[in-house]
Structure 1
């Protein structure tokens, strides 16, 4: 699928970026990228919890919710092209922090690379969650390429209620988009933009996730600035509903990133 490249200002931003709270501009802005099969609405509770300190913008991918009539994306690079252009033009008063979970971390990373190297509008930070570093990626373990295999992967990772297996309407609503997102993640190859960022990177995971910790720490190779890692109780979807410890971890990551761009390179490992 080819995504459109021409933009119509505010209407396009509204289609792609959802602000649940704090409509006015703030100097701390967090742009959130959903996981495979995910929606912008999954960041509502995070936005509500951070509203007094941070303006949260959730990316609205095509092919779901009120964009369900549009084809789902099948190319991470094209999706990042679209989002980076929206975030860069016109130049925002304050550079954002980007936050992506699972394949959303890949989209966030590619968007950050375009903002910095194509538009000269580097984000002030990147938070990646539940995903290997781009050059250390391995495909999710799947038993095939169809909807049943995609659902098996989501159930194994704890990303949905098992009751969906017996509900044809829910399956029809969720699985086509999930399959498209997983295919895009599987086909993703880094390198369409320079891979080294000048902003700090924070990498996170659930302690029970099947993610290899060395692959998570390898995100350090993608920044010349500070790098930190941290794990939390839970599996791949440890951040579901954003319980208070996760909210506070996001807040404490965003605050220094937005408060001071230049940081000495330091490392804090799991």
Structure 2
């Protein structure tokens, strides 16, 4: 897999199922470091590194979600061709859930092998109002929301030098979310596991459950205590849900 787009945080690439993880808005591949290490050693866990952050800081970030999805899907298609037959799944949190879902749709539209399962976390299902409330966000609104969600260290957001580095990616990601328009189509056949915190200020459990409408396959809803970044407090349980969900589709136990 292309090292420009994908990162591994384990010492070796396992020869078992592959899990590709998509970060939240403003996030980077390192958001999945701990999850990668909590999963079985034979899993090959890859985290997507979007342009405009960390070691890709000098690259222009995408400001349109459709373009980002197209780029990621193209990279994944090459990986699927190079490693045919290996089961894989996609995991996305927040904005990453939307990118993962649309990537799966694009791969399906191209007739490529489907993921064994989608893991969609901290995001409501797409619909008519998908990105509307982000369209008027300025920098102050973006930073206020990020502070409220609690996924970024407050000292980072209050340090002018660091803020100058992270704001372009945040700005671009929220612009991409604001420009996203849901295009209805046939539900995916891929099984879906949805994960959500019961106190998430961005998405309610009921809204998260509406992902059921976007698959004709099996559907599983996992609710955890906590807010938008509930994952930080339930790492082992999330890893267990991912492990069980992915292995259920591979015939491996």
TM-score after normalising by structure 1: 0.84
Kindly report the root-mean-square deviation, in angstroms, between the aligned alpha carbons of the 2 structures: 2.2
Q: 1:41-99: CA deviations, max 9, x gaps?
A: 11111111214142111001000011000011111111111111221225233131000
**Distance in 2 between the 1:14 and 1:144 partners?**
35
The 1:75–1:258 alpha-carbon spacing in structure 2 relative to 1, beyond 3 Å, is farther
**After the TM superposition, which of the residue ranges 149-158 and 139-148 deviates more from structure 2?**
139-148
Counterpart in the other structure of 1:179 = 171
Q: Is residue 18–residue 44 contact of structure 2 (8 Å, CA) maintained in 1? A: yes
Q: 1:177-204: CA deviations, max 9, x gaps?
A: 1111011112111228x45211101111
**Distance in 2 between the 1:61 and 1:68 partners?**
9
Where do 1:97-176 residues align within 5 Å? 97-135=89-127, 137-139=129-131, 145-176=137-168
Task: Return the offset for 1:167.
Answer: 0.9
Q: Is residue 132–residue 216 contact of structure 1 (8 Å, CA) maintained in 2? A: yes
Q: Is residue 26–residue 173 contact of structure 2 (8 Å, CA) maintained in 1? A: yes
1:237 and 2:204 equivalent?
Answer: no
Q: Which runs of 5+ in 2 are unaligned?
A: none
**Distance in 2 between the 1:33 and 1:157 partners?**
18
Q: Is residue 33–residue 58 contact of structure 1 (8 Å, CA) maintained in 2? A: yes
Task: Return the offset for 1:252.
Answer: 1.9
Counterpart in the other structure of 2:193 = 202
Q: 1:10-32: CA deviations, max 9, x gaps?
A: 6xx11001122264452311100
**Distance in 2 between the 1:190 and 1:37 partners?**
21
TM-score after normalising by structure 2: 0.89
**Distance in 2 between the 1:170 and 1:140 partners?**
29
**Distance in 1 between the 2:129 and 2:218 partners?**
22
Q: Is residue 97–residue 258 contact of structure 1 (8 Å, CA) maintained in 2? A: no
Alignment length (residue pairs): 248
Counterpart in the other structure of 1:14 = 3
Q: Is residue 136–residue 215 contact of structure 1 (8 Å, CA) maintained in 2? A: no
